[in-house]
Amino acid sequence: KAFGHRPERRYQWRPIAAGAAAAARGDEEAGLVVGGGGSAAFPVVLVQIPMYNEREVYKLSIGAACALEWPSDRVVIQVLDDSTDPAVKVRMQSIHPSIHPSSTHNKWAIKKKDLVEIECQRWKGKGVNIKYEVRGNRKGYKAGALKEGLKHDYVQECEFIAMFDADFQPESDFLLRTVPFLVHNPDIALVQTRWKFVNSDECLLTRFQEMSLDYHFKFEQEAGSIVYSFFGFNGTAGVWRISAIDDAGGWKDRTTVEDMDLAVRTALKGWKFVYVGAVKVRSELPSTFKAYRFQQHRWSCGPANLFKKMLVEILESKKVSFWSKLHLLYDFFFVGKIAAHTVTFIYYCFAIPLSVFFPEIQIPLWGVVYVPTVITLCKALGSPSSFHLVILWVLFENVMSLHRIRAAITGLLDAGRVNEWVVTEKLGDANKTKPATEVLDAVKVIDVELTTPLVPKLKKRRIRLWDKYNCSEIFVGTCIVICGFYDLFYANKGYYIYLFIQGLAFLVVGFEYIGIRPP
């Protein structure tokens, strides 16, 4: 960054010609006169939005995708809806203004899936080339939906795919800033952009997530791109070359990290990736701890399982060098996805606490304080505005290492919850980033309320203690606090200050006093 190694300098990147740019804004006549290219200068782009029961955010993502600056005849918006939610009541006046508010027809029972279809039809009525696609089952989850979406005839005309999850809202110039990399560099398969979080200040949990993801994007993704090395696809906010996807064998649903799977197979075919950190796409962080745990299980279990399944394939690859294989296997997979969680938990939450019971074990001060402090400060540079939270963040990351190491072991052993896919819950917090009037102008809000259940209401089941709390975190936290008391009264090694606050962090998470309570 200090030497100005921006992607625009290292790769060929030229903005769309003046005539084409005019066409992108909808001025077709100006586009045909100025520059002579018009919309024909644009490649055909498919914008995919996979979603599953996204009642809170589906309008935002569809609206943002339909507002992208690109000629209407050169872009296809494809909404892949796997929703299975029950029926709701909708005020029909919000869909058909001609209906009087007091009319008996003003309310109409409708499935949540149909709400998405109605929204797509509304944009289609405005001239947007949008397709609403459903399938008969959820086989393969997100990978299955994306794979099925590429089978439609109209996709054959598309060269590139822009992918956005249901809570992602790209800026209107997203395609204008990313697609030129693919147009002018035929060896690039993927342009990955950065995530921007609309609810990072909602609670301490979202602040911690922002710090971790800022480090991931600013350092891990940026470094991989700058040195022309491999870095993973984040599953959304990226643009793919369709021919590269086909060359890699398409989407596969053998793991819960279909995005990483595709990226690794594409890299083994010799394709390049570029990360453009200057382009940011708004998204929502999970603000409940339950949703965050499910997400982290998938993000930790999936890579470990993929590492096991692709080890031989990576070693046998002929199109990448030995050093590229070493980087992929050792740096990316083994260290980044397995060893990091293992070392963090075993060292900070097992070895140090247990050492107080053995006087002959003396951990050097540099191993307890100096090196961890330097590493922590370096990682915290990714989020300068949250630097004052760095100690709390480290304690929280140590707690989460317990959950991640269990997920990684599950993935390596290919057992238990290895293929569990729980969609991350979105609460629609993206609405808070804009004034209500602006949101209403952009997308007319449908008044939604739950209708009478389609099945008799079930009796409330008594929640068991081990379902209500996170017992593993409570157990580990209690053990660490006990070690702290032993060190304070008997061992006198001076570890008790750290042990007390780390044990307390485990207990806080164990009793779920972090994040917000869902409505």
Quick one: 198 and 267 in the same domain? yes
Model pLDDT, residue 456: 46
Res 30: pLDDT: 38
Q: Same domain for 164 and 302?
A: no
Q: Which residue has the higher pLDDT, 309 or 58?
A: 309
Asked if the structure places residue 261 within a domain, the reply is: yes
- 67 is in which domain, residue-wise? 41-91+110-202+228-286
Strand-pairing partners, residue 283, are 197
Question: Is the same domain home to 294 and 176?
Answer: no
For residue 479, report the phi and psi dihedrals to the nearest 5 degrees.
Answer: -65, -40
Q: DSSP assignment, residue 53? A: S
Question: Are 363 and 505 in the same domain?
Answer: yes
How far is residue 108's CA from residue 98's CA, in Å, rounded to a whole number?
Answer: 15
The answer to whether residues 262 and 321 belong to one domain is: no
Identify the pLDDT of residue 125: 93
pLDDT tens digits, residue range 267-283? 999 999 999 999 999 99
Distances (CA, A) of 152 to 40, 73, 146, 148, 297: 22, 17, 11, 8, 33
Q: Residue 479: name the closest of 452, 506, 497 by CA.
A: 506
Burial of 441 (0-12, 13-18, 19+ CB in 10 A): exposed
Residue where the block lists tokens 């995919």: 48
**Taking a C-beta distance cutoff of 8 angstroms, is the pair 247, 187 a contact?**
no
| Catalytic residue ranges | 82, 259
Residue 13 lies in a domain: no
Q: SS3 for 201? A: coil
The residue that leads in pLDDT, 430 or 476, is: 476
Q: Which helix (H) or strand (E) holds 88?
A: strand 87-91
Residues 124 and 232 in one domain: yes
Of 200-204, 250-254, 346-350, 416-420, least confident by mean pLDDT is 416-420
Between 284 and 92, the more confident residue is 284
Alpha carbon distance 194, 181 (integer Å)? 16
Based on the fold, state whether residues 315 and 177 are members of the same structural domain.
no
Across residues 6-35, what is the average pLDDT?
Answer: 59
266 in any annotated domain:
yes
pLDDT digits (tens, 9 = 90+) for 222-232: 888 888 788 99
| Total of domains in the chain | 2
Report, as an integer, the average pLDDT of 382-402: 92
Radius of gyration of the chain (CA): 25
> Tokens in use for 162?
């822009």
Inform me whether the pLDDT recorded for 408 exceeds 60: yes
Element (H, E) at 49: strand 45-51
- Residues counted in the chain: 519
Residue 427 within any structural domain of the chain: no
- What is the predicted pLDDT for the residue at 89? 47
- Binned at pLDDT 50, 70 and 90, residue 121 comes out as very high
Q: Which amino acid is at 327?
A: H
Kindly report the average pLDDT of the chain as a whole number: 84
Same domain, 49 and 184: yes
Residue 46: inside a domain: yes
Which of 14-23, 33-42, 436-445, 453-462 bottoms out in mean pLDDT, i.e. has the lowest?
436-445
Note whether residue 196 is domain-resident. Answer: yes
pLDDT of 107 above 80: no
The rounded distance, in Å, linking the Cα atoms of 426 and 55 is 9
Q: Which of 53, 50, 25 is nearest to 38 (CA)?
A: 25
Kindly report which listed range (242-251, 333-342, 435-444) carries the lowest average pLDDT score.
Answer: 435-444
